[in-house]
Amino acid sequence: MHKNTRSCIIIKKLSAVNYVATTTDCWSARQRSYLGVTCHWIDNTSLERHSAALACRPVKGSHTFDVRAAALEEIHSEYHIREKVTMATTDSGSNFLKAFRLYGEEKKEEAINVQEESDSTLDDATEDQSESEVECQDVSAILDDNTGLEYQLPRHQKCACHLLNLISTVDATAAGGAANETYKRLSRSAFAKCHALWNKTSRSTMAHETVERECKLLFLRPNQTRWSSLFLAVERIVRIHREQGEQAIRNVCTALKIKMFNPAEIGFLVEYAAVMKPVAMVLNILQGESSVHMGLLLPTPYQLRDKLKSKGSRKRFGDVMKEPELIAAAILLPRFRTSWTTEENILNAGLDYIRNHLNTDLDDVTSANSGLSDEDDFFASMELGKSQVGELERYLSCLSPAGMDLLHTFPHIKKLSLKVNTGLPASAACERLFSHAGLLFTAKRSQLHSKNLESQLLLKLNSDITERFFGEIVCFCMF
């Protein structure tokens, strides 16, 4: 399929969507660097989430913040979604953070306010000067000044999975180390033996056969880029020890000439798997794509904090937990509403955000009723305002099953819910794009041109959209 045809199909699909969200990340392979972008939205009728891969573009030179900002804005403009993107999710890389800090929606609003203040100050100063006085300005300095308006990027969201990784690694190590030195020694010795076991069993066919014969299950080797893989690898050792007994692992260690785990180290691994299981569960939830919403972001750390009885989630998610839009996103998910926390100040901040934005929608509706008479137009907002306030109260107190279909009953709540819940709490979708790219961009295909790589990748990932599009055309032609 020609690239232009494929792009037109995606553009046509997105033209019928009011709100979209994107995820973006960078990837390097075969001495080349790429910027990947995926797009996500919620269908207004079915309330199901849909996704599309937008780009896997080569990035030349240094990956500075302005280069990434320019590339991302170009992709948004190419697909005609720049004004529709409610949020972009990335990792916590410094260049991404700086790009959105300078060119993101919040920064842009601040820059406009600063510019308005400077303009008003200039006007006041001009009134005090005579018309004959002329002040010289350095034009080149003004043009070179970075006002934060060169590029237009949406609101930014840090990947929640990266924050969870820090909780499970840095914070967990710090908490244990602060308690006593015994924890450090036990942790280091246990994981050293684990890594020796994982390395030797993955490099030899005889070792593989030994493990399969003695343990009935194979060991899993962790991936450095995924903390959850470390948990799953430790959990597999614990499972083999529980199901096959200590002798099975001892036989493997003897055959591979590795020191056997002592009872204290086995106990440490059992406890580690039990404590870190909630973190792994949260990672699996937030890394989803088809059933995840931005409203899941806050309830999960609240539950995690209660399960772990630690301050790590509060430390890493402290600022996030205070954002009114994210609080509103959780409230506007029927499965949560106000049941996910008992902190009144948090809930009130989210409810105030909802009321304010329902009033904003009210103003938009009122301005759209310009065809009414002056008297009708003047008093039209009274009844509409009462209905919207009542709609929020009815939504919160509704006893119907807490499924997404409940939003159809409350049209104004539904509209705002789709807007704030379109974003994704994690950038895993973009990482999955790169995983598929790695399968295409192999060593034997290292000379594959960047445009061909992108075309093949997007054709594969967007096949369901294109097939559905052509299926609709065929059905239309038949009738």
Q: Are residues 16 and 154 in the same domain?
A: yes
Residue 34 predicted with pLDDT over 80: yes
Residues ≥6 apart with Cβ < 8 Å to 344: none
> Taking the CA atoms of the chain, what radius of gyration do you get in angstroms?
27
Q: Give the pLDDT score at 305.
A: 74
Which position has the higher pLDDT, 107 or 244?
244
Which position has the higher pLDDT, 182 or 217?
217
Assigned domain for 196 exists: yes
Residue 26: what residue type?
Answer: C
Residue 170: what residue type?
Answer: V
Q: Give the pLDDT score at 285.
A: 87
If you average pLDDT over residues 202-207, what whole number do you get? 86
Q: Are residues 61 and 192 in the same domain?
A: no
Q: Are residues 71 and 194 in the same domain?
A: no
Q: Which tens digit of pLDDT belongs to each residue from 371-388?
A: 555 555 554 455 555 555
Q: Which domain holds residue 38?
A: 1-118+147-158
Residue 108 predicted with pLDDT over 50: no
Tell which of 158, 189, 213 closes a domain. 158
Q: Which tens digit of pLDDT belongs to each residue from 421-467?
A: 999 999 989 989 999 999 988 888 888 888 999 999 998 999 888 77
**Which among 91, 230, 262, 70 has a CA at the least distance from the CA of 150?**
70
If you average pLDDT over residues 353-367, what whole number do you get? 69
Q: Give the pLDDT score at 136.
A: 55
Q: Which tens digit of pLDDT belongs to each residue from 48-87?
A: 999 999 999 999 888 899 999 999 999 999 999 999 999 9
Residue 143 predicted with pLDDT over 70: no
8 A C-beta contact, residue 215 and residue 252: yes
Assigned domain for 72 exists: yes
Q: Give the pLDDT score at 109.
A: 43
Which position has the higher pLDDT, 434 or 1?
434
Model confidence at 149, pLDDT cuts 50, 70, 90, reads low
What's the rounded Cα separation, in Å, for the pair 224 and 227? 7
Torsions phi, psi for 22 (to 5 deg): -130, 155
Q: Are residues 113 and 229 in the same domain?
A: no
Q: Are residues 333 and 309 in the same domain?
A: yes
Q: Are residues 184 and 300 in the same domain?
A: no
Across the chain, what does the average pLDDT equal? 81
What's the rounded Cα separation, in Å, for the pair 17 and 81? 9
Q: Which tens digit of pLDDT belongs to each residue from 303-343?
A: 877 766 655 556 667 778 889 999 999 999 999 999 998 89
Q: Are residues 90 and 172 in the same domain?
A: no
Which position has the higher pLDDT, 311 or 32?
32
Assigned domain for 139 exists: no
Model confidence at 126, pLDDT cuts 50, 70, 90, reads very low
Q: Are residues 280 and 342 in the same domain?
A: no
Tell which of 286, 313, 344 closes a domain. 286
Residue 132 predicted with pLDDT over 50: no
Q: Give the pLDDT score at 146.
A: 52
Q: Give the pLDDT score at 445.
A: 87
Assigned domain for 234 exists: yes
Q: Which tens digit of pLDDT belongs to each residue from 390-417?
A: 899 999 998 877 789 999 999 999 999 9
Assigned domain for 437 exists: no
Assigned domain for 445 exists: no
**How far is C-alpha 203 from the chain's CA centre?**
35
Torsions phi, psi for 43 (to 5 deg): -65, 130
Residue 122 predicted with pLDDT over 70: no
Q: Are residues 29 and 152 in the same domain?
A: yes
Q: Give the pLDDT score at 175.
A: 59
Q: If you ran DSSP here, which 8-state letter would residue 79 be given? A: T
If you average pLDDT over residues 104-120, what whole number do you get? 51
Residues ≥6 apart with Cβ < 8 Å to 42: 19, 48, 49, 50, 293, 418, 421, 422
| Domains identified in the chain, total number | 3
Place of tokens 């310009």: 370
Assigned domain for 462 exists: no
Assigned domain for 34 exists: yes
Q: Are residues 72 and 98 in the same domain?
A: yes
Q: Are residues 264 and 304 in the same domain?
A: no
Tell which of 254, 286, 318 closes a domain. 286
Q: Are residues 225 and 186 in the same domain?
A: yes
